[in-house]
Amino acid sequence: MATATVAAAPAVRTEKAPGIKPRGWIGFLFIAPNLLGVIAFTLIPLISVVVLAFTDWNLVSGLGGITFNGIDNFVAIARDPGFWHAIGLTLVYVVVSVPLTVVGGLALGIALNRPLPGRAVLRAIFFLPYIVNVVAIGMTWLMLMNPRAGLVNQVLDAFGIQPGWFASSHWALPALIVMAIWGGVGYCSLIYLSALQDAPRQLYEAADIDGASVWAKFRVITWPSLLPTTIFLLVTLIIGASQGFGLIALITAGGPGDSTTTISYYMYQTGFQFYRFGYASAIGLVTFVGVLVLTLLTWRAQRGRALNE
């Protein structure tokens, strides 16, 4: 019986309705609008950047002005102090802001997972920075961090410190990092919240019966169950932070001096202010490879460590 059923199945699948011929290309018609968009606005620009990375081109000279120069751009990148300075700043920005954002988000997520009064409102408030327009965020922080009249320094004045924030080459990057953490913690906490609610309750119950401490439960149950979420957040935040541009363009324009010229802003300067589009494309390509490697390393680091694997 069973054999007959299994044998009959393929015959049913391949049977065609009378008068209807399958046409594969019809499927493409349905996805054509999206497909065209992806080709025009993602695929072609992506390929263009790769090709332009091997050229000297200033855009204004038109397609006829493209000169292929082999690996010259990459050799120049290796010798460019501005590039390495920007990479250094970007690494500091990523290495400081991403872990603190994740830790802050985790702490907030755990706190908001408790039965607090007004919990829904609190969640919405902490999530707000993630959805507010970048210009509004920039203007608000610009006022808050004004060295003389800003609220932040008025509070800090009580402790005898008066950072120059965006008007200081020493404080501008820390100020941007503070803003990045402020903007990302709410988002992380929300992602963590949903993960916490999926945590295996039976394990907690078993741990309670065994008399495990709060720390022991966090270390052995909570953290491993949150590991995939953490890795997801790390990857997305690393990618986001390495592409950070809006607030820098809005508030510091890479300065004072070049103290906030991260790699994204350096790429913008090179392309759109100096009109060195070939070189800017090469910087983009190198950065892409760097972020890809960093992402893969982060991804591989968690393999086999999650609770559900």
Partner 1 sequence: MGAGLAAAVVPGCAAGGGGRSGALQVWGGVPAASGPGDVVKAFREKFPQYDVNYTRFVNDDRGNLKLDTALQGGVDIDVYFTYSQGAMALRAGSGLAADLTDRVSNDPDLKVFLDTEQPRSYIDNGKVKALATAREPFFVLFNEKLRQQAGVDLPHAWTIDEFRSTAKQLTTNKTVGAYTVPDIARIALGPNYWYDGNRSNFGDPHFEQGFRVGREMIAAGTAFPWTEVLARHLDAYQQNSFLTEEFHLWSTAPFNLRYLYDAKKYPHDFKVAFAPSPTVDGKDWNGGSYSNFIMINPESPKFEAAWAFVKFWLTEGATPMLKGGKLPALGGVTDDQVITGMLGKEPDKYFDMDSFRRVVLEADPKLATDTRLTGFPEITLAVKQQRDLCWLGEKDPGAAIREVRRLADAAIARNERRP
The region of 37-45, 121-129, 265-273, 282-290 touching partner 1 under the rule CB under 8 A is 265-273
Q: Which amino acid is it at 286?
A: V
The three state secondary structure string of 156-215 is: HHHHCCCCCHHHCCCCHHHHHHHHHHHHHHHHHHHHHHHHHHCCCHHHHHHHHHHCCCHH
Whichever of 106 and 145 has its CB closer to partner 1, that residue is: 145
Say if residues 243 and 230 touch (Cβ distance below 8 Å).
no
**Contact set for partner 1, span 179-238 (CB under 8 A):** none
Whichever of 258 and 295 has its CB closer to partner 1, that residue is: 258
Whichever of 187 and 277 has its CB closer to partner 1, that residue is: 277
Residue of 132, 273, 299, 301 that binds partner 1 (CB under 8 A): 273
Whichever of 113 and 153 has its CB closer to partner 1, that residue is: 153
- From the CB of 176, what's the least distance to partner 1, in Å? 14
Residue of 157, 170, 194, 289 that binds partner 1 (CB under 8 A): 170
The region of 13-21, 58-66, 98-106, 205-213 touching partner 1 under the rule CB under 8 A is 58-66
Whichever of 36 and 143 has its CB closer to partner 1, that residue is: 143
- From the CB of 231, what's the least distance to partner 1, in Å? 37
- From the CB of 147, what's the least distance to partner 1, in Å? 5
Q: Nearest 5°: phi and psi at 71?
A: -100, 15
Q: How far apart are CA 40 and CA 294, in angstroms?
A: 28
The three state secondary structure string of 82-147 is: HHHHHHHHHHHHHHHHHHHHHHHHHHHHHHHCCCCCCHHHHHHHHHHHHHCCHHHHHHHHHHHCCC
Our finding on whether 56 is near partner 1 (CB under 8 A) is yes
Residue of 243, 256, 298, 302 that binds partner 1 (CB under 8 A): 256
Q: Nearest 5°: phi and psi at 256?
A: -65, 150
Whichever of 54 and 165 has its CB closer to partner 1, that residue is: 165
Whichever of 58 and 243 has its CB closer to partner 1, that residue is: 58
Residue of 49, 58, 91, 127 that binds partner 1 (CB under 8 A): 58
First-to-last alpha carbon distance for the chain, in angstroms, is 38
Say if residues 259 and 195 touch (Cβ distance below 8 Å).
no
Our finding on whether 145 is near partner 1 (CB under 8 A) is yes
Nearest CA to 59 out of 284, 267, 274, 282 is that of: 274
> Which residues contact residue 62 at a Cβ distance below 8 angstroms, ignoring those fewer than 6 apart?
none
- From the CB of 281, what's the least distance to partner 1, in Å? 15
The region of 20-28, 145-153, 285-293, 294-302 touching partner 1 under the rule CB under 8 A is 145-153
Our finding on whether 298 is near partner 1 (CB under 8 A) is no
DSSP lists the bridge partners of residue 68 as 55
Whichever of 174 and 256 has its CB closer to partner 1, that residue is: 256
Q: HSE of 89 in the Cβ direction (CA atoms, 13 Å)?
A: 30
User: Which residues would be at the binding site for partner 1 (CB under 8 A)?
Assistant: 56, 58-62, 65, 67, 142, 145-148, 150, 164-170, 254-258, 269, 272-275
